[in-house]
Amino acid sequence: MYILGLSSYSHEAGCALVKDGVIRVILEEERFNREKHTWKFPRNAIAACLDYEGITINDIDHFTFFWVPFREVYGNLVHVLKYFPRSLNLLKAPSGSEDLSFFSRVKLMNNAGTRIQDEFQLAKAPKVHFVEHHLCHAASAFYVSPFKEAAILTIDGRGESTSTMMSVGQGKKITKVKEIKTPHSLGHLYASVTDYLGFRPFFDEWKVMGLSAYGKDTYVKDFEDITRFTERGEYRLNLKYFKFHTHGQAAWVSDLFLKKFGPKRDYHDEYEQKHFDIAYALQKIVEKTGVYLARYLESVTGMPNLCMTGGVVLNCLMNKRIIEETDFKDYFIQPIANDAGTTLGSALYYYHHVLEQPRDYLFDTAYWGITYANDEIEKVLRAKGVTYRRSENIAKDTACHIADGKIVGWFQGRMEAGPRALGNRSITVNPARADMKDRLNARVKKREFYRPFAPSVLEEKCSEYFIMPKEQLSPYMILIGDVREEKKSVIPAVTHADGTARVHTVNKDVNPLYWELISEFEKITGVPVLLNTSFNENEPIVCTPEHAVNCFLRTEFDVLAIGDFLAVKS
């Protein structure tokens, strides 16, 4: 039985193809239309999915969707009445995306079946099963986790109206325990401060997390007044500090917030210590809230394991604290924690919860994208006039270039699903050289100085370099570890200002070629670690050989290792 899960008309539009409860392909539309976090209907992603599997749209048994539009209409109606008349501003504000209003978005979502019919020229519109957003998130983690039963915590900006959900997964069923509704939202708290600090909400939260490592505890008490806990496992934002609940994305923080913390930073303004301190205070309150929620869930469910996902769970620092400060026996974090993961979640929820089909599948890889054969790659290299050679041992040859201080684009196998490059669409450099971070930024990535780069480490060598929370591995780069004191000077390019690193542990069986690359690098340098960042330059991660070659030619890369081919710039 094929189920195609879809997300669209919000951020991270995409699709997931599931066959008999087993993932086949997960793709985001942004990789094809080249618009970061695109909301547009995932026509290209669906077509690529079907093509990869060798089926047509007629072979799909069920279509599922990551949102229930009518639930949002009801939730918003209640919300508008509660905050009337200021809430009337919401009717004019962008919704889910800068290009969409609330009404147009709901209409588009509701007509998802017709859109599939039009795009794929079907005789009639297929029935689409709409699944609640946070149930999609929860399903995307629990059903592919190794646990028969688990507590589930999902935290994001908002779904139809829910921003945080606690639930319990047992066998085929997921049961809600508690929901926290917008405007009380950790995701929107983070988005508000992201906007205040001069960045794009829902895009640049990474920057705020990076800034926080340079901050001091000047404003921690103030942020504790902004986010308060109830005794029933809930948190409440002090709405006096915000405007988003009445003005939407047009205005995030209130005059009181500005009075307390000073004027909003413009994107081009110089950084002041205050900005780092505000990011620090925000980060601390988000971590504290995450721990509070997880502990409550632990106490009321008594479940042995915890599954987590949702956009806020991309906050690896919070995840680290949750693991360190709760007593669950084991943890599973769905790495496709943004809304791209809800495509999978809606399909799995329908398959297991609604159709009551058995579970026997474990999530053990994130390589769910498209792959390209050597002859396809070579055609592109020739067409673009790139000088290249075929390598007999691509891992060994590439490792020599990395050790030599070169910036290398590494394009191999199936593309990763989710926001992280995990060694198949990656740029890698030598982490032992302190100057490589600045060099990489100046020549390719153009990132701000305070944003860290992550290490990929051979799984078996992880504990030599990093102290991981409860010795958890981090195969999907969704956990922070502390760099061991004696290793900070060994891998300076991937050690953040606060002594942490967002670790990617590489397993030999899961990604043998990338493991081989790191291993060859270790033979030359003695260091079983590579700096790993996504293969892109201010754009979605490259998907096709053409994207990769274009990026290589456009930027100041030194080397492109693509399939079995090696191109070296003179």
Give contact residues for Fe ion (rule: CB under 5 A): 156, 339
Contact residues for 161 (Cβ-Cβ < 8 A; gap 6+): 71, 72, 74, 75, 76, 78, 79, 181, 182
CB of 116 to Fe ion, least distance (A): 22
Nearer to Fe ion, 156 or 277 (CB): 156
Q: Rounded to the nearest 10 degrees, what angle do helices 186-196 and 205-212 cross at?
A: 80
d(CA 487, CA 457): 13
Nearer to Fe ion, 156 or 204 (CB): 156
DSSP state of 265: P
The CA–CA distances, whole Å, from 134 to 164, 273, 404 equal 8, 37, 47
Helix or strand or coil: residue 516?
Answer: helix
CB of 217 to Fe ion, least distance (A): 30
Nearer to Fe ion, 248 or 413 (CB): 248
Nearer to Fe ion, 298 or 339 (CB): 339
Nearer to Fe ion, 30 or 339 (CB): 339
d(CA 215, CA 219): 10
CB of 310 to Fe ion, least distance (A): 6
Contact residues for 177 (Cβ-Cβ < 8 A; gap 6+): 151, 166, 167, 168, 297, 300, 301
CB of 194 to Fe ion, least distance (A): 16
CB of 309 to Fe ion, least distance (A): 9
d(CA 563, CA 398): 11
Are 493 and 433 spatial neighbours (Cβ–Cβ below 8 Å)? yes
Helix or strand or coil: residue 136?
Answer: helix
Nearer to Fe ion, 156 or 520 (CB): 156
230-248 core/surface letters (b: 16 or more CB in 10 A; e: else): eeebbbebbbebbbbbbbb
CB of 72 to Fe ion, least distance (A): 12
Helix or strand or coil: residue 128?
Answer: strand
Nearer to Fe ion, 314 or 529 (CB): 314
Are 172 and 352 spatial neighbours (Cβ–Cβ below 8 Å)? yes
CB of 11 to Fe ion, least distance (A): 9
The CA–CA distances, whole Å, from 456 to 198, 428, 507, 527 equal 31, 9, 10, 11
CB of 133 to Fe ion, least distance (A): 6
Nearer to Fe ion, 308 or 542 (CB): 308
Q: Which residue is nearest to Fe ion (CB)?
A: 156
CA 200-205-64 angle, 5° bins: 90
Take residue 128 and report the two structure tokens written for it.
């689409």
CB of 296 to Fe ion, least distance (A): 21
CB of 4 to Fe ion, least distance (A): 19
d(CA 365, CA 510): 7
Nearer to Fe ion, 215 or 311 (CB): 311
d(CA 158, CA 451): 26
CB of 177 to Fe ion, least distance (A): 18
CB of 18 to Fe ion, least distance (A): 19
Helix or strand or coil: residue 416?
Answer: coil
Nearer to Fe ion, 165 or 306 (CB): 165
Nearer to Fe ion, 72 or 156 (CB): 156
The CA–CA distances, whole Å, from 396 to 402, 515, 546, 566 equal 10, 11, 24, 11
Are 220 and 285 spatial neighbours (Cβ–Cβ below 8 Å)? yes
CB of 15 to Fe ion, least distance (A): 16
Nearer to Fe ion, 188 or 437 (CB): 188
CA 378-381-384 angle, 5° bins: 145
CB of 198 to Fe ion, least distance (A): 24
Contact residues for 367 (Cβ-Cβ < 8 A; gap 6+): 413, 414, 415, 416, 417, 422, 424, 511
Are 532 and 456 spatial neighbours (Cβ–Cβ below 8 Å)? yes
Nearer to Fe ion, 339 or 378 (CB): 339
Take residue 9 and report the two structure tokens written for it.
């008309």
Is the omega angle on the peptide bond into residue 455 within 30 degrees of 0, that is, cis? no
- For residue 17, the one-letter residue type is L
DSSP state of 358: P
Are 143 and 360 spatial neighbours (Cβ–Cβ below 8 Å)? no
- For residue 509, the one-letter residue type is D
